[in-house]
């Protein structure tokens, strides 16, 4: 897993390199610049004779730019270097590298006003204006420069983070660089993973600056980004003598009148996850709508008196079959009828199996957080920001502004795993661990996609995965299926059923790369 840091955490790791390893900061800058130059050469294809505009600021980010200028000039590029600062403002390691550049004959334009566009236009622009320590919005000259560079139309390679993007949140409160790619020093920065910053960062290239790979922030539990290898190591393998009763059974409590599709998607996704049986508890009057769509799913008719919703009064006769399941998926499409609320809360009081609680299952518990805290088994909560807002009382805006912190805080408060769905999804454990997903795309913003995630996680739980492993694998596979569906359908035309169809390929792809 890749470690994700804030700007302050990265600064502390840099200091540790210098103090604990006695690694000169000048060496760190050289390693950074050499790595950025390697990415630039790849983007240029054949660097000989290519025009490169490097735009630096007054700090160490600008110093990285001077190193890049040197390496690209040595590779045969025709380098133009602009510095958005007076020369006497350059200090320390940045000044050392600027002097080296000048002594080898490099030309520098120190800018106090935004110049005209260079002619002819560059093949590549390197954005070394401001680093992760600069909080947007940009001051006027930097904002004007960012606007100019975007308007030139050449591909932009950003150094560490595109200028104008908040390194900790991904917020873009004003003009900001729109990069084709970003060369990131040593550790991923949070702002590169969350919208709208991630849309402006382009392709991410992690640069090795000789920082020990196991180093993580010392304060708190580190935030990590999921990768395919992490999922491959956690997924269950089906034994040669497997049969449907030996590889897990899921009980799905879902659906109501008008929302039978949610129940279908959840129950089918549990099977696509690889479990042997999926049993859907549904209102009896809805069964004619469900049975034809779900030939592989067992249906349990709950007496509903033609109400079209699951009622607490019908639960007692089904408690024993539900208790026999290896995992439960509760909530998709349930509706918010008071009788249904009673049923969900009774399940939370009486069941002990691993449970995934989603959608209306969560909405029906907004005034009963103690039931979530005191559930006798493992509980995985899978809210989107609106559902988490109703559960916690926080505004959706506050949740979206600090998804990592909010998910971590409420996972600890509730003592349960919390999967905060979004772009990207954040998985937080009650021990403070936080993980950020690396798969998925905007095409998954479609009705029913969350229902598939619920069934998928439950299906993995039923096969015996630890709750944290089921959550991590389910979220990653869900996004991977979305990425495969995008390849076939595109983002605009994707529907939840496309994810369901793509799940087997996503599983096969990670297990047998």
Query: What pLDDT digit, counting tens, does each position of 236-288 carry?
Result: 998 899 999 999 999 999 999 999 999 999 999 999 999 999 999 999 999 88
Region of residue 509 (phi > 0: left; psi between -120 and 50: alpha; otherwise: beta)? alpha
202 and 271 inside one domain: no
45 and 166 inside one domain: yes
Does 10 map to a domain? yes
DSSP string covering 372-435, please? Answer: HHT-SS-EEE---HHHHHHHH---HHHHHHSHHHHHHHHHHHHTSEEEE-SSS-EEE-TTS-EE
Does 398 map to a domain? no
12 and 79 inside one domain: yes
355 and 211 inside one domain: no
C-alpha of 210 from chain center: 26
Which of 195, 225, 255 is the last residue in one of the domains? 225
The token pair at 59 is 């700090």
Using DSSP, how many helices (H) and how many strands (E) does the chain show? 19, 19
Contact (Cβ atoms closer than 8 angstroms) between residue 418 and residue 381: yes
Domain range for 80: 2-225
Model pLDDT, residue 112? 83
Reference 506, options 240, 273, 297; nearest CA is 273
470 and 340 inside one domain: yes
CATH for 486: 3.40.1190.20
160 and 65 inside one domain: yes
Partners of residue 206 on adjacent β-strands = 184
Does 239 map to a domain? no
219 pLDDT higher than 80:
no
Does 119 map to a domain? yes
289 pLDDT higher than 90:
no
| C-alpha distances in Å from residue 425, one per residue of 15, 56, 277, 400, 473 | 31, 34, 28, 11, 12
Model pLDDT, residue 344? 97
Does 234 map to a domain? no
Question: Alpha-carbon distance 161 to 188, whole Å?
Answer: 10
Which of 225, 258, 289 is the last residue in one of the domains? 225
Question: Percentage of the chain surpassing pLDDT 90?
Answer: 93
194 and 273 inside one domain: no
Highest mean pLDDT among 103-112, 220-229, 465-474: 465-474
Question: Alpha-carbon distance 188 to 226, whole Å?
Answer: 12
Model pLDDT, residue 140? 93
Model pLDDT, residue 158? 98
- Helix 449-462 crosses helix 260-272 at what angle (to 10 degrees)? 40
Helical segments of 158-309, H only: 197-201, 228-234, 260-272, 287-290
Does 238 map to a domain? no
DSSP string covering 322-379, please? Answer: HHTSSEEEE-TT----HHHHHHHHHHHHH--S-EEE-THHHHTTTT-HHHHHT-SS-E
118 pLDDT higher than 90:
no
120 and 188 inside one domain: yes
In the block, tokens 């009650």 appear at 430
Q: What's the whole-number mean pLDDT along residues 484-504? A: 96
CATH for 12: 3.40.50.10260
Does 74 map to a domain? yes
Tens of pLDDT along 201-211? 999 999 999 99
Does 391 map to a domain? no
129 and 68 inside one domain: yes
38 and 110 inside one domain: yes
Model pLDDT, residue 513? 87
C-alpha of 118 from chain center: 38
219 and 255 inside one domain: no
Model pLDDT, residue 16? 95
In the block, tokens 């009622």 appear at 311
Q: What's the whole-number mean pLDDT along residues 27-53? A: 97
Who contacts 295 (Cβ-Cβ below 8 Å, separation ≥6)?
A: none
Reference 210, options 9, 33, 71; nearest CA is 33
- Residue, of 38 and 287, whose pLDDT is higher: 38
Domain count, the chain: 2
Model pLDDT, residue 371? 97
Which of 179, 194, 225 is the last residue in one of the domains? 225
Tens of pLDDT along 126-182? 999 999 989 899 999 999 999 999 999 999 999 999 999 999 999 999 999 999 999
Contact (Cβ atoms closer than 8 angstroms) between residue 430 and residue 416: yes
201 and 270 inside one domain: no
In three-state secondary structure terms, 449 is helix
């Amino acid at each position: 897993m890749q470690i994700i840091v804030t700007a302050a955490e990265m600064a502390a790791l840099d200091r540790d390199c210098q103090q604990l390893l006695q690694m000169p900061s000048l060496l760190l800058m050289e390693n950074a610049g050499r790595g950025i130059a390697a990415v630039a050469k790849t983007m240029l294809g054949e660097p000989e004779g290519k025009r490169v505009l490097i735009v630096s600021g007054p700090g160490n980010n600008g110093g990285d730019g001077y190193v890049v200028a040197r390496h690209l000039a040595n590779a045969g590029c025709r380098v133009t270097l602009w510095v958005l600062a007076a020369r006497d403002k350059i200090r320390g390691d940045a000044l050392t590298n600027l002097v080296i550049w000048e002594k080898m004959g490099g030309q520098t334009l120190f800018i106090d006003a935004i110049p005209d566009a260079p002619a002819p236009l560059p093949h590549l622009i390197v954005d070394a204006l401001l680093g992760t320590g600069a909080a947007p919005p940009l001051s006027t000259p930097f904002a004007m420069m960012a606007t100019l560079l975007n308007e030139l139309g050449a591909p932009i390679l950003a150094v560490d983070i595109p200028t104008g993007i908040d390194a900790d949140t991904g917020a873009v409160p004003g003009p900001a660089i729109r990069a084709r790619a970003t060369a990131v020093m040593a550790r991923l920065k949070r702002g590169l993973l969350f919208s709208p910053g991630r849309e402006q960062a382009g392709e991410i290239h992690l640069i090795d600056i000789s920082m020990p790979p196991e180093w993580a922030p010392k304060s708190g539990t580190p935030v990590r980004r999921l990768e395919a290898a992490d999922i491959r190591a956690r997924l269950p393998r089906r034994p040669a003598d497997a049969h449907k009763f030996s590889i897990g059974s899921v009980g799905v409590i879902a659906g109501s009148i008008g929302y039978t599709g949610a129940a279908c998607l959840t129950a089918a996704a549990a099977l696509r996850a690889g479990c042997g049986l999926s049993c859907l508890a549904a209102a009896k009057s809805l069964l004619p709508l469900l049975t034809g769509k779900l030939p592989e799913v067992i249906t349990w008719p709950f007496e509903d008196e033609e109400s079209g919703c699951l009622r607490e009064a019908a639960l007692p006769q089904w408690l024993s079959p539900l208790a026999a399941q290896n995992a439960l998926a509760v909530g998709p499409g349930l509706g918010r009828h008071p009788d249904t609320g009673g049923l969900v809360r009774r399940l939370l009081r009486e069941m002990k199996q691993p449970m995934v609680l989603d959608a209306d299952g969560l909405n029906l518990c907004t005034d009963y957080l103690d039931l979530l805290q005191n559930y006798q088994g493992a509980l995985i909560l899978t809210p989107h920001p609106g559902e988490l807002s109703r559960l916690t009382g926080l505004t959706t805006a506050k949740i979206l502004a600090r998804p990592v912190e909010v998910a971590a805080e409420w996972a600890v408060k509730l003592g349960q795993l919390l999967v905060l769905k979004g772009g990207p999804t954040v998985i937080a454990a009650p021990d403070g661990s936080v993980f950020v997903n690396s798969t998925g795309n905007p095409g998954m913003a479609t009705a029913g996609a969350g229902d598939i995630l619920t069934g998928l996680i439950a299906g993995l739980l039923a096969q015996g995965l630890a709750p944290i492993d089921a959550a991590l694998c389910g979220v990653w596979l869900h996004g991977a299926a979305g990425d495969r569906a995008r390849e076939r359908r595109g983002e605009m035309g994707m529907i939840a059923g496309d994810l369901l169809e793509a799940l087997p390929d996503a599983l096969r792809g990670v297990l047998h790369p």
